[in-house]
Amino acid sequence: MALIVISEKLRPFLLEIPQNGSEIKIYHNGLYLTSLINLAIYTKASQEVSVKNFSDLKDGKTVVCEMKDGSTLELNFIKMNDRILIITATAGEKGFKATLRRSMLESYLGGGERFERVEATGLYISLNTCDVAGEEKDPFGLYKPIPLLLSNRGYGIFFETPGVGYMDVAYSKDDEINLFTSLNTLTLYIIRGIDYDEILYNYYHIVGRPKIPPKWAFNTWKSRDVYQGEEEVYEDAEQMRAHKIPCNVIVIDSPWETSFNTFEFNRAQFPRPEIMLTRLRRLGYKVLLWLTPMTNKESIEEVPGCLPFAENFEYCDVNGFFFHRDDGSTYLVKWWKGVGGMFDFTNPQTRMWWIEQLEKLLQKGIDGFKLDDGELLPLDSVSHDGRRGGELHNLYPNLYVEASFEAADKYEALLFARSGYAGIAKYACLWNGDRTSDFSFTTGLPSAIISCINASVSGIPFITCDIGGYIGETTAETFIRWAEFASLLPIMAIHGQGIREPWRLGETVIKIYRFYANFHASLFPYFYSLSVETTESGSPLVRPIAYEYPFLPHTYLVDYQFFLGRSLLVAPIYSPDGSRSVYLPPGRWIDYWTGEKMEGGFFYYISNLELDKIPIYVREGSIIPLIEPVDTFVDVEDLLPEITKLSDIENKLILDIFPSEEESVFKLYDGSIYRCKLDYNRLSITSQLSPMDRKHILLIHIDWKPVVVTSGGVPLEETSISQPEGNWIYDEKMKILKIMIPVGILLVEVFKELE
């Protein structure tokens, strides 16, 4: 007979322990989630000491575990709230392993920004923040190792380990999940949710909710690996305007300082930074500067004016701002820009000094920072608070970004980070690190697609990549395919080694890049609405097919395609021949470019797709809000008059509507609610809580020409012009009805001829 314990302290959670003490079964409201079937301590001799017995459940909260050597440890169960159960264990020796039971047909998503595939089941996942493309790389390492697993059985596992560890997700044994931390404390969160959205929403209760980037971050970005001087910065800014490409962020990467990191402009490279920033502002640009958490004793000289060392190194060293060795000496770290000290953000004085340096730059008109690196903390280093580098190795990027956020948040500035741990999204948006400019499955475009999907469902919704890949020269084809993919991410950013300027890659590249930059900018209200939804419900912007269809086992095998929200299914071309298979889930779908209606539940094969196309499919019943593209989303008083800006057109909303027989609803980021319903011969489109002065342009995808169109009950006239203000026009070829409603409440009815 099993011992069943129900505790008022743990309800609605329930723990069930068989008499033999072989496992602890965990239930929520009567639903079995998983079982803790083993705990193990790894001694200094690396010998596993398994738990012999679970016994004596005290007050429904603490289980005393008897070890093989006769010692005991207490396993604590604490209810954080009705959806989250915390399990903690502490021992004298470092190195803990917990084993959980995996049910048959149970599948997992998450595990951080992984590059190999979407499904986490069957993988060994290293929890070791590292420079994936660096010289001393862990073949399993990640820029963002997030120890979060989402199960399709209605729960999640958050394995909190700021030190190095791993997750064996049914890799060694099909029915087991093994979680290892190098620390002497093991903390597990069992997170209940009726679906993946609710699991992520509850996870954010633990680590903090993602911060929505400012509106201007959703326009396109431009950067180079190295700006040789201000002339190249001006070239990028002005050529974007000359070629009518929307853009409003310039990232000045390394080098820009007198040395790494002095926080002072190299005047040989940028003679007049104040004038440069003013000029960029008037062109409608925000400017980010590159940083790393280092100050160098020895620096490489990349451009004229770079000093062989950082002038502030001695000051930082004397004041104990760096990690140190056991003997108290500064721990010097070799990295790709030289040799230096790594800032110790556990030291309040270090943190205060760092914030002061960033605030000086922000006061000069800088709009944010690209926070590179953060992965190189030596495991044997010692921090100000006495912890080893190995104890906070994964947490270190968060400490670095958090200190930067304390400065940036005062100025509403943006942080853009490469590495991170659980909770990083409450401080910054991120990019997926250094990818090669090719179609390699392990390091090229395919891996970029996978990593963005995995990061997004691991609690990093504002994720992007370097268009063209960072490493190596690009080709026109690689650049375009990458740009097409990035146009469907919340941030669309050009960066990398070698030539990445569309105007230097040929007229075809300029034409196609301009189209997708405009496409990305036009999706702003959709992106921003999804961003608000993320904070309100947990739902990520980018999500794998299995996220929406968790109970269809084959969807976990579908890689290289994703949903953007619920409405758009995106299938990037990731091979040089322009071919791929696409899975359309059950339901009806519409090809975004051709309007062709397609039945779901099948795989389709695309062969030799034109270079200027990316497969996008719209779920029938979708409402997609758009805007007319503009040069910049930045609005400043001294903006040049020829520059078009978001505030000029934000009150003019385009609704791309794909009706179905069921009512469609879309909630805009400002709280406006739009509805569409098709009843036999009548199609109605209405708004609720929308501003009275908002203009609406309706693009309604229907395969029949209306006989009557009304607005507020008043018939509208059919017209033949393309901008039918107060009237309507039907495109027979594209099967699109276009209606423009100048102002007022949206109450449109479209009638078709009775059959």
Give the global pTM.
0.96
DSSP H or E segment with residue 599: strand 597-599
Using DSSP, state whether 362 is helix, strand or coil. helix
Residue 38 is predicted with a pLDDT of 82
Output the DSSP codes for 636-649.
Answer: -TT--TT--BHHHH
Residues 291 and 257 in one domain: yes
Q: Which of 207, 238, 269 is the last residue in one of the domains?
A: 207
Pair (507, 453) in one structural domain? yes
H/E stretch holding 48 reads strand 48-58
459 dihedral zone (left: phi>0; alpha: psi -120 to 50; beta): left
Predicted pLDDT at 16: 82
Alpha helices in 417-495 (DSSP H): 445-456, 476-486
Are 461 and 312 in the same domain? yes
- The runs of H, that is alpha helices, within 176-300 are 196-207, 230-242, 273-282
| Lookup result for tokens 């948040």 | 409
The bridge status of strand 176-181 relative to strand 165-169 is antiparallel
In a domain, 637, yes or no: no
594 by Cβ neighbours in 10 Å (0-12 / 13-18 / 19+) ranks as exposed
Q: Are residues 522 and 551 in the same domain?
A: no
Rounded CA separation 335/331 (Å): 13
Residues 515 and 585 both lie in one domain? no
Phi, psi values for residue 168, rounded to 5°:
-100, 95
Query: What pLDDT, on the 0 to 100 scale, is given for residue 52?
Result: 46
Burial of 714 (0-12, 13-18, 19+ CB in 10 A): exposed
Q: Is residue 176 in a domain?
A: yes
631 domain-assigned: no
Structure tokens at 241: 């305007």
Look up residue 89 and give its two tokens: 């264990």
Predicted local confidence at residue 576, as pLDDT: 96
For 673-708, the DSSP string reads EEEEEEETTEEEEEEES--TT-EEEEEEE-SS--SE
What token pair was written down for 424? 């990083």
Report whether 643 contacts 593 (CB < 8 A). Answer: no
| Dihedrals phi, psi of 228, to nearest 5 degrees | -65, -25
Sort strands 249-252 and 220-224 into parallel, antiparallel or unpaired. Answer: parallel
**Cα–Cα distance measured from residue 74 to residue 89, given in angstroms and rounded to the nearest whole number:** 6
221 shares a domain with 174: no
Residue ranges of the chain with per-residue pLDDT less than 50: 1-4, 44-47, 49-52, 58-59
Q: Where are the beta strands (DSSP E) in 595-642?
A: 597-599, 602-606, 616-619, 623-626
Phi and psi at 329, nearest 5°, equal: -75, 155
Please report whether residue 642 resides in a domain.
Answer: no
Tell whether 98 is covered by a domain.
yes
For the chain, state the CA radius of gyration. Answer: 28
CB-based burial, 338-348: b 16+ in 10 Å, e otherwise: bebbbbbbbbe
Instruction: Please tell me whether residues 178 and 76 are part of one structural domain.
Output: yes
Domain that holds residue 688: 651-751
Count: domains in the chain = 4
Q: Are residues 400 and 434 in the same domain?
A: yes
Burial of 677 (0-12, 13-18, 19+ CB in 10 A): middle
pLDDT at 143: 97
Query: Is residue 392 located within the same domain as residue 356?
Result: yes
Angle made by CA atoms 222, 295, 271, in degrees to the nearest 5: 50
Domain-embedded: residue 632: no
Is 629 inside a domain boundary?
no
What region does 520 belong to: left with phi over 0, alpha with psi -120 to 50, or beta?
alpha
CA distance 114 to 124: 11
| CATH code of the domain containing 551 | 2.60.40.1180
- Which of 498, 531, 564 is the C-terminal boundary of a domain? 531
Q: Name the helix (H) or strand (E) containing 358.
A: helix 348-363
In this prediction, residue 96 carries a pLDDT of 85
Q: Any idea of the CA torsion for 349, 350, 351, 353, to the nearest 10 degrees?
A: 80
**Residue 640 falls within a domain, yes or no?**
no
Alpha helices in 575-652 (DSSP H): 646-649
127 and 161 Cβ atoms separated by less than 8 Å? yes
| 591 and 662 within one domain | no
Identify the pLDDT of residue 522. Answer: 99
- Residue 44 confidence (pLDDT): 42
Position 2 scores a pLDDT of 45
Note whether 655 and 727 are same-domain residues.
yes
| Residues 381 and 460 placed together within one structural domain of the fold | yes
Q: What is the CATH number of the domain that holds 32?
A: 2.60.40.1760
Answer with the one of 531, 558, 574 that is the final residue of a domain: 531
Tell me the C-alpha distance between 406 and 652, whole Å. Answer: 36
Tokens of 281: 């502002």
CATH number at residue 382: 3.20.20.80
φ, ψ (nearest 5 deg) of residue 474: -105, 170
